[in-house]
Amino acid sequence: RLIGNYTDYAVRWYNTGLERVWGPDSRDWVRYNQFRRELTLTVLDIVALFPNYDSRRYPIRTVSQLTREIYTNPVLENFDGSFRGSAQGIERSIRSPHLMDILNSITIYTDAHREYYYWSGHQIMASPVGFSGPEFTFPLYGTMGNAAPQQRIVAQLGQGVYRTLSSTLYRRPFNIGINNQQLSVLDGTEFAYGTSSNLPSAVYRKSGTVDSLDEIPPQNNNVPPRQGFSHRLSHVSMFRSGFSNSSVSIIRAPMFSWIHRSAEFNNIIASDSITQIPAVKGNFLFNGSVISGPGFTGGDLVRLNSSGNNIQNRGYIEVPIHFPSTSTRYRVRVRYASVTPIHLNVNWGNSSIFSNTVPATATSLDNLQSSDFGYFESANAFTSSLGNIVGVRNFSGTAGVIIDRFEFIPVTATLEAEYNLERAQKAVNALFTSTNQLGLKTNVTDYHIDQVSNLVTYLSDEFCLDEKRELSEKVKHAKRLSDERNLLQDSNFKDINRQPERGWGGSTGITIQGGDDVFKENYVTLSGT
């Protein structure tokens, strides 16, 4: 409970701070973005890991991935004070929520104003996570200048681009008093690769002094930055103003987006750890959308829409996965949010490993709190032979669901014993009306008790013998309580309607008669109409 309280407190004050620093001008956006970036690094990234400290749910090492993106400031000279009313436009230049992709290359175009050459536009080529589909190209950012040959920067070398060193150019070519006729652009950038070797950088025109590491420092200062970096370049968009070389002002500001290095290119499932795979690392989304995360999930979320009672229109997200170990068995757990009980199906490869109605977790899918998420998991364990994809499908005809992540839990002998014990404990406790086991729930039957008894019987003697004995005694107690309330205990019709929960019941006019020559025991007489 305290984990949830701390989480919601941190996110609430983060959002309050964002609202307070927002303003209309570029200097306001710089302050806003700095607050967002630094609080993400120092608060939200830590909050996202809070659930992993629940040792009952995560009894072994757990590997998390942060898929949220942060942004360095537009690389322009005097950007923090010169551009009025531009904050909304700058913010719109950032990508909307999306499935994670892998930056492969940037093709940069060059234009010139008088004798000044600058970065006028670019195109991005990317691949889906796991390189599990064809490469795709984003629309042109900026303009396709032709003042110099285009230059292609390959981003997929080493561990990706971890650093940019940019050169800014600010000129007033016409030099007319205080008029705003100006050129504010970028005329060169060095792209440095994360690597354990001395892999040379890629350079567009020339290197500069504006260093991205000043805004996004390494996570390990005991090794060179190329090894200890914390983020890699994930996308480049552009904020632009001015329409041609004859415009009053020309502004071309590449916007660098960065993703945490924990968000790996491939969804590798460890054999000795619980592996969390965010749903946004999927490569196929049908009848759904990616929505902004609430701040404590470490990234954005996937919403699967209802089918509208059309089975061909069921919302579905598919995630590629890779298993170094082919012998390890795994259970799959999903973190989700829903406002109604909802029927969900999980497939691993072509096999359905879960298909059931899961309970509602939230009263609203807007302004999500940490307590609005729940979990469900497959009861059985499976090996990688099922395939290299996992997906979840929304079978509901009327309700949507939010998927946060998939979790792959390796099933070792110890972990399986703990899981079976927890499952049996929940089943035994569910038989009784209270923790002191004084009474059975009214809907519990002998069949239910037998099923629970089977769960207890198959518990491991090696790992949980004492707990098994204790649960066996509770099951025996449940059987005794069931016998005591069994209707056949009053097989001689001693009472009617005197013990509503334990005896016989009937309408008025029914009488009990004593034994006679025909019936040796008591019998019931039903009055005529």
One-letter amino acid at 465 equals: L
User: Regarding predicted confidence, which is higher, 195 or 181?
Assistant: 195
Q: What is the pLDDT of residues 353-385, one digit of tens each?
A: 999 999 999 999 999 999 999 999 998 889 888
What three-state secondary structure class fits 445?
A: coil
Highest mean pLDDT among 27-31, 146-150, 410-414: 146-150
Q: Quick one: pLDDT at residue 160? A: 95
Q: What pLDDT score was predicted for residue 245?
A: 46
- Answer yes or no: are the C-beta atoms of 110 and 206 closer than 8 Å: no
∠ at Cα 25 (24, 26), nearest 5°? 135
Residue 127's pLDDT band (boundaries 50, 70, 90)? very high
Whether the predicted pLDDT of 182 surpasses 80: no
More confident site: 494 or 285: 285
The answer to whether the beta carbons of residues 439 and 481 sit under 8 Å apart is yes
CB environment 141-164: b (16+ within 10 A), e (fewer):
bbbebeeeeebebebbbbbbbbbb
SS (H, E, C) 488-505: HHHCCCCCECCCCCCCEC
Select the more confidently predicted residue: 359 or 247. 359
**Topology (CATH level 3) of domain 274-411:** Jelly Rolls (2.60.120)
**What percentage of the chain exceeds 90 in pLDDT?**
64
pLDDT for 488: 56
Question: How many other CB atoms sit within 10 Å of the CB of residue 502?
Answer: 13
Say yes or no: do domains 68-260 and 274-411 share a fold: no
For 393-414, b/e burial (b = at least 16 CB within 10 A) is bbbbeebbbbbbbbbbbbbeee
Q: What's the whole-number average pLDDT of the chain?
A: 89
- Model confidence at 261, pLDDT cuts 50, 70, 90, reads very high
Predicted confidence (pLDDT) at residue 444 exceeds the cutoff of 60: yes
Under the banding of pLDDT at 50, 70 and 90, the label for residue 19 is very high
Residue 242 pLDDT: 57
pLDDT at residue 325 greater than cutoff 60: yes
Q: Per residue in 131-143, pLDDT tens?
A: 888 999 999 999 9
At 411 the pLDDT is: 86
Q: What is the pLDDT of residue 437?
A: 81
How far is 400 from 338, CA to CA, in rounded Å?
Answer: 7
Indicate the pLDDT class of residue 304, thresholds 50, 70 and 90: very high
pLDDT tens sequence across 456-475? 998 888 778 888 899 999 99
The tokens describing 298, both together, are: 């470490």
pTM for the whole structure: 0.81
> Under a CB-based contact definition with an 8 Å cutoff, are residues 493 and 512 in contact?
yes
The token duo for 466 is 């004492």
**Alpha carbon 529 to chain centroid, angstroms:** 66
Instruction: Tell whether the model's pLDDT for residue 522 goes beyond 80.
Output: no
pLDDT digits (tens, 9 = 90+) for 481-510: 888 776 555 666 677 776 655 567 777 778
Structure tokens that stand for 425 in this block: 């404990």
For position 243, what pLDDT does the model report?
45
Task: Give the SS3 label for residue 151.
Answer: strand
From 7-21, 161-175, 209-223, the region with the lowest mean pLDDT: 161-175
pLDDT at 171 (0 to 100): 75
- The contacts of residue 487 (CB under 8 Å, 6+ apart) are 502, 503, 504
CA dihedral 393, 399, 402, 406 (to 10 degrees): -30
Q: Does position 418 have pLDDT exceeding 60, yes or no?
A: yes
Q: What was the pLDDT predicted at 59?
A: 87
Residue 458, classed as helix, strand or coil, is coil
With 50 as the cut, is the pLDDT of residue 121 above it? yes
Residue 50 is predicted with a pLDDT of: 95
CA–CA separation, 226 and 236 (whole Å): 20
Q: What is the pLDDT of residue 80?
A: 58
- pLDDT, average across residues 234-258: 79
Q: Residue 81: is its pLDDT beyond 90?
A: no
Is 188 in contact with 167 (CB distance < 8 Å)? yes
Q: Where are the domains of the chain?
A: 68-260, 274-411, 412-487, 493-528
Neighbouring CB atoms inside 10 A of 355's CB total 12
Mean pLDDT is lowest, of 75-79, 155-159, 174-178, 203-207, for 174-178
* C-alpha Rg value of the chain to the nearest Å: 32
Structure tokens at 112: 């010139």
- C-alpha dihedral, 254 to 259 to 260 to 262, nearest 10°: -140
pLDDT of residue 26: 85
Q: How confident is the model at residue 148 (pLDDT cuts 50, 70, 90)?
A: very high
Classify residue 80 as exposed, middle or buried by CB count within 10 Å of its CB (0-12, 13-18, 19+): middle
The DSSP letter of residue 272 is S
Residue 406, pLDDT score: 98
Please answer whether residues 361 and 372 qualify as being in contact, where contact means their C-beta atoms are separated by less than 8 angstroms: yes
For domain 68-260, give its CATH number from 1.10.287.890, 3.30.300.130, 3.10.150.10, 2.100.10.10.
2.100.10.10
Among 501, 497, 69, smallest CA distance to 262 is for: 69
Q: Determine the pLDDT at residue 201.
A: 96
CA atoms within 13 A on the CB side of 446: 7
The pLDDT of 183-211, averaged and rounded, is: 92
The two tokens of residue 124 are: 């991005």
Least confident range from 320-324, 375-379, 406-410, 504-508: namely: 504-508
In the chain, the amino acid numbered 303 is R
